[in-house]
Each structure stands twice: as structure tokens, then as C-alpha cells.
Amino acid sequence: MKSIQSPPRTWAEINLSALKQNLKLARERSGQRVMAVLKAGAYGHGLEQIAKALDSEGLPFFGVASVIEARRLAAIGIQTRIYLLGPTFPDERAEAVYHRWVISISTKEEADHVNTLNQGNDPLPVHITLDTGMGRGGFLPDQLTEGLAHIKSLPNLTVEGIGSHLPSADEDKAFTLAQFKTFESAFDPSEFQYIHIANSAGLLDYSSKITNMVRPGLMLYGISPLLEYQDELIPVMTLKSRVSLIRTLPKGHGISYGRETILERDTRVATIGAGYGDGYPRSLSSKGTEVIIRGKRCKLLGRVTMDQIMVDVTDLPDCETGDEVELFGPELLVSEIAQKAGTIAWEILTGITPRVTRIYL
């Protein structure tokens, strides 16, 4: 018998030409080399597919969170160098050294360990992390001179770059400007091949005379952390689902768990095949959240359940079973959804679960 496979209920369309457009903007806007940040499965867009799409772009690095992500890229033969963004655990360093993934160093002890593991090989290029205010890793500015001198004395390492990170580039201008100042006066730029501090917000809203690389994540995926730049970007992911059922329910009927919503009029209710099991947050319940059907915004009714949501399509008489639904995308930004859910776009994107089929366009 011929095998039969139904289309997905909920899927994420990933627009790879939008990804490249956004990269182009990151390059033009910064005038610098771009480390594409691909951590957390390329922000939920699919680690391998996004890496493949960008591997021929001539980027200096792909930034990933962990050796597991680095290993997945190595396994498919990605040629772009891999940069481990956070500190490495001691038991991860042997693998990182073996593959010559770039480790970011925060302490003399880390450097000593990596130096020992790389005994007998060509010096391993590493980057130094400077903590200018993030509080997550790195040397404090007043520890840098001594730390750097120590690392430079180690025979199996070579210091290739220096980086820092911005905790509030999208929230606090004065602090961020002060951070840039601290960074720019902490070392002699001629000693480093790569100098980098800017994430997406830093890239879009600030400039520096000494940096020569930027590390955008979110903006590559077409979402701006600062609303004023959103128009220049194209959202890469569109989360879609389909209407599974339409019924007219009478005024006074309850909708979904807890019966938080009681219909105030006779209502045409569309049931849609997506829920928090797909990463569509339950916290969107009762927040005036909307979805888009046939180009029109329709209101969510009642709580988001694991696999289904209900929306009001009374004012959309054409709506029928099987209609496509945009949960977020170019017409309804994930940042808007995030705000309604009381979180940030980064969390929604990385929270889209594996059962959601990714379709690459």
C-alpha cells in the first residue's frame, strides 16, 4: 500500500532569503565583520539549516552556546570557525581544544587548563572576555593587564581577540555609552585581531572606533530589539497553524480551561491546532492576544491549551476549516506576542518546540 503522510498542523516557515537580507543590513550598518550568533538552535530556526545557509557567506565565526551545538556543526562539515560564547566547563575543554573551537577566556585558571590540554599542538587561538558590566563572565577591567600578560606567557595559546557584552543596549543609553568607553580604554587595540562588543541592539544603536566585529543574533532573524529599526529587517520565522473546526456557540457558553472566558454574544469559534506544546505561550491567555486569518486579526478566546487554541471569527464569515493562521511573523511580530506574554522575543523563538515542523523557503 502507498504510504500516506498528512501535512503538519503547526509549522514554522523559515525564510532564508530574509536571513541573508538581515545579514546584509548587519554588515552595511556596522561596516564590520559579523559573527553570526547561532546559539539555541539558531534561535529556534534550526541550527544546521541556518549554519548551512550562512556557511558560504565568508563570516569569521559562528557563535554557539555549548560544545553540543559546536559538535552538531562540526558533524555536518561546517567550514566557518566556531566560537563558544560563554565559559566552557572543565570537562568540555578537551573536545573544544581538539576541534580548535574558539574558547572565550575569563580567568587565568581557564587559560592554564586550556594551555595544558593543547600541549604539543600549534598555539590555540583564544579570545579574552572583559566584564564591562554584564556580570556573567570575563576579567574585570582592573584585572586585565595582569591576566593578559599571564595568558601571553603561555606557550600553547595565542590571544587572537577580545570581547565584552552589553546588558542593556536596548534599555540604558548612558550605561551602554559608559561601557563602550571602558572597553575602548582598557587595552591596546593593535594587540588584537578581533575586537567585539556589540549584540543586535549595540550594532543598531551605537558605534565604536576600535571594534572590528559585531555579534548579532536577534536581528539576523529579522527582529529588532529596538522598535525604531524594525522596518529595516524582515522576520525570518512565520509560525503558522490551521483551523481544525468552526462552530457557532451561544452567548453564555464557556471557552477553555477554567472557563475564564464566557461568551458575551453568539460567537463563531474557530479551533486551531496549536498550543503551548508548540511553544505558543500559555501566558498569552486573556491578554487580548490576536492571530491573523485571511489577513484579519482575530481575538484569542480563553486559555491556551497544550495543543489547541480558540479564536473568535464572528467578524470573518469567510473563515473555514483548513484556513491558514499566522500566530506570528511579518504581519504580527513575535515581539508583540512576547510583550503580551510578559517575556521577550528571544524566549518565544527559542521556545518553539521540536514538534513544530520547520519548512525552509
Which residue numbers belong to the known binding site?
Answer: 136, 306
- At its nearest, how many Å lie between ligand PLP and the CB of residue 46? 16
Question: Do the strands 81-84 and 102-105 form a parallel or antiparallel pair, or are they unpaired?
Answer: parallel
Out of 39, 83, 206, 229, the active site residue is: 39
Q: Which is nearer to ligand PLP, 39 or 358 (CB)?
A: 39
Judged by the rule CB under 6 A, the positions of this chain that interact with ligand PLP are: 37, 39, 85, 165, 199-200, 215-218, 225
Q: Is 257 a catalytic residue?
A: yes
Could you tell me how many helices (H) and strands (E) the chain has, helices first?
11, 18
- At its nearest, how many Å lie between ligand PLP and the CB of residue 218? 4
Beta strands in the chain (DSSP E): 11-14, 33-37, 61-64, 81-84, 102-105, 124-129, 157-163, 194-196, 213-214, 237-249, 254-255, 261-262, 267-272, 290-293, 296-301, 309-312, 324-328, 357-360
Out of 98, 173, 181, 257, the active site residue is: 257
Q: Which is nearer to ligand PLP, 195 or 309 (CB)?
A: 195
Q: Is 299 a catalytic residue?
A: no
* 3-state class (DSSP) for residue 293: strand
- At its nearest, how many Å lie between ligand PLP and the CB of residue 28? 16
Provide the annotated binding site for substrate. 136, 306
CB 219 within 8 Å of CB 24: no
Shortest-Cβ-distance residue relative to ligand PLP: 217
- At its nearest, how many Å lie between ligand PLP and the CB of residue 132? 12
Determine the Cα–Cα distance for residues 321 and 23; give it in Å rounded to an integer: 38
Q: Which is nearer to ligand PLP, 217 or 302 (CB)?
A: 217
Instruction: Tell me which DSSP letter residue 257 carries.
Output: G
Q: Which is nearer to ligand PLP, 195 or 274 (CB)?
A: 195
In sign, the C-alpha dihedral spanning 97, 98, 102, 103 is negative
Instruction: Tell me which DSSP letter residue 25 carries.
Output: H
- At its nearest, how many Å lie between ligand PLP and the CB of residue 14? 17
Q: Which is nearer to ligand PLP, 29 or 282 (CB)?
A: 29
Residues recognised as catalytic: 39, 257
